[in-house]
Amino acid sequence: MYRVLLFSLMTGVAAMPAVAADNDLSVTIYRSSGGALFDGGTGTIRDGYSVIHEQRTLKLAGGRETVMIGGLPATLDPEAVAIDAGDAAKVLAQRVLSAGDNNGLAAHRGEVVRVTGSNGESWDGTLVQVDANGIGIRKDKPAFSNSKVGVDDSLHYIRDYVSVQLPADSVLSGSTLQLVLDGKAGNQPAVLTYPTSGLGWRAAYSALLDEAGGCKLHLTSLASIANRSGRDYSGARLKLVAGEPNIRQQGAPRAMMMKSAAASAPQDYMPEQAELGDYRSYTIQSPLDLPDASVTQVPLYAPRDASCERSWVYETGGAWFPPKPMMNENAAGNAAGPVVSRLAFRIEDNLPAGSRERTAFTIDRAKREMSESFRINLRNSGERERTVTVREHPNRWRMWELASSSIAPTVSKPDLLEFQVKVAGGKDVKIDYTIRYHWTATDE
């Protein structure tokens, strides 16, 4: 049985070209409806969705070489990682080494390390294998420039070791991106972009009920941001998206980030609201740290008052009918239960929403005819005009006609009525229409 007693970082190491992390880090986080991210714990959670953009400096020797970028989240999508160094370097190949279940060492495969055994003997070389029983290195490179440990390109599998020394710029947690580049010598700027799970946000509201003059709530809104991705984000510029991404169920998720049209923030410390495609986004005004295994809260909206409705309900029984009448006197007798207090309120901060209400219904059995009228209510709480497609399916009978409509339909089929409705930003639109059904005696 091997033992990992110590991880240490090497100085003066003869390793692969390094990558420097810059401070320009932006994180776009989508709303997460799952609760696992926000539960206490330190392990990574493959829930939530975010897109990371960060500046990196590639320290290149020139020509064809291998570069390692460590400290990436353990939950990133390995098929959607992109790095752009412009004309300074061409990416010939790339691979993501995940940490797996072997104490984070697996993510450092390909790096030059020094392994010290329990007997004091040391081995320098490239880390090639980590499993539950031991560690494998190829003795092809010295770990230090002044190292006296010999190298002969032989492969060693070490079961009983007490320490593994990693390069000075290594990070133990997370995944590692290994790049094969053909580039120019020098410090070359690059943009690293990747989607990852393990990050998510949700709104958290606290409400103070004031019943002195009716029902009114004083609402305080916070955004709870959870990081269970396996890495820290320091000084990140955050954008929160009020919606869950529409990701294909098969294959890896892909994200297309769109430019947003910003709106002025109501207060300096509040997030700047904007539209991001069909979502609403909130840009946090100041850079924030998101440590791994943490939940950070920031103001989402300025405190506000909202009207509410409070009710008390006492209910017995349920929506169930027996297969035959229950004539036993004691079948549904005495009952006791609580009176439930319910509080309802609505905040209009979403994008277009719709509702339908029936306004009339008549039936003339002699003429074998009936009519049904509806009103469609559309509200656009966004800032831009939206064209909303309204689809109605008349289903009382197959023989029907549109008797009247405040807006002409664009599609009329035996099972479909379709309207194209333009709704200006911050406006409401109503559609009134009536369907007339008719049938014959043989249809009854």
**What's residue 146's pLDDT?**
59
| DSSP reduced 3-state for 215 | coil
The one-letter amino acid code at 398 reads: R
Q: Where are the domains of the chain?
A: 6-196, 353-443
Q: How far apart (Å, rounded) are the C-alpha atoms in residues 96 and 233?
A: 19
pLDDT in the model for residue 142: 77
What's the pLDDT at 185? 94
Does residue 180 sit in helix, strand or coil?
A: strand
- Tokens 């009134």 map to which residue? 432
Cα angle: 167, vertex 171, 175; to 5 degrees: 115
Compute the chain's Rg from CA coordinates.
Answer: 32
Q: Are 377 and 428 in contact (CB under 8 A)?
A: yes
Q: Is the pTM of this model over 0.85?
A: no
Per the CB < 8 A criterion, the answer to whether 216 and 345 are in contact is no
At the second CATH level, the architecture of 353-443 is Sandwich (2.60)
Cα(376)–Cα(437) distance, integer angstroms: 20
CA angle in degrees (0–180, nearest 5) for 26-29-35 = 145
What is the token pair recorded at 413? Answer: 């089929």
Q: CA neighbours within 13 Å on the CB side: how many for 244? A: 9
Q: In sequence order, what are the beta bridge partners of 90?
A: 182
Q: How many CB atoms lie within 10 A of CB 92?
A: 13
Of 64, 62, 76, 63, residue with least CA distance to 27: 76
Q: Same fold for the domain at 6-196 and the one at 353-443?
A: no
Give the pLDDT score at 116: 85
* Model pLDDT, residue 262: 38
DSSP, res 132:
S
CB 295 within 8 A of CB 38: yes
Cα end-to-end distance, the chain, whole Å: 81
Q: What CATH number has the domain spanning 6-196?
A: 2.30.30.100
pLDDT, one tens digit per residue, over 73-93 is: 888 898 999 999 999 999 999
Distance CA(265)–CA(193), nearest Å, equals: 28
User: Residue ranges of the chain with pLDDT lower than 50?
Assistant: 1-17, 101-102, 249-266
Bridge partner list, 405? 433
**pLDDT of amino acid 106:** 65
Q: What pLDDT score does 180 carry? A: 93
Under DSSP, is residue 36 helix (H, G, I), strand (E, B) or coil? helix
